[in-house]
Amino acid sequence: MRHTISVLVENKFGVLTRVAGLFSGRGYNIDTLNVGPTHDPKFSRMTIVTTGDEATLEQIVKQLNKLPNVLKVQNFGEGEYVDRELVLVKVGVDSKSRAEVMQITDIFRAKIVDVQPKSLTIEITGNDSKVGKFLDLMNSFGVIELTRTGKAAMPRK
């Protein structure tokens, strides 16, 4: 089962290394990791997506709370948070497929950010479902290159 964890930390040297070390040292995998400063530059928020059962998740949360410079750990349950991910995808196109790719891009409210003779680079933001459906459609045209930011999440309350 996938879990989304939000970790508020002091924005100090070595914090990211300690968090990543906690996961690797105990054999837990990080599916995605997104880190950035909050409205207060003294603090950063990490959004970590990991896979495991409830016992594993409980252990991860306990261990994160023990780390220096960690201020708050939240495990988001289903529907308790808003999340988004940014994806840049370069899709191969020719004169026949270019219009179709552009039409699908408009339907998904994505943006074409670069146009080349044989490719389009598209920016899409959204939740896992939206991004996944878009990428499934783009695969039929030929994905040349892709990069993802990882999930950024905030609680609803």
Q: What pTM did the predictor assign?
A: 0.86
Q: Is the pLDDT of residue 79 over 90?
A: no
Structure token digits, residue 103: 């039409």
pLDDT range class, residue 157, cuts 50, 70, 90: confident
Beta strands in 56-118 (DSSP E): 70-76, 81-92, 111-116
Query: In which band, very low, low, confident or very high, does the pLDDT at 78 lie, cut at 50, 70 and 90?
Result: confident
Paired residues of 115 in beta bridges:
120
Stretch among 73-82, 89-98, 131-140, 144-153 having the lowest mean pLDDT: 73-82
Residue 133 pLDDT greater than 90, yes or no: yes
Q: pLDDT confidence of 94, banded at 50, 70, 90? A: very high
CA torsion 139-144-147-151 (nearest 10°) is 0
pLDDT at 19 over 90: yes
DSSP state of 77: P
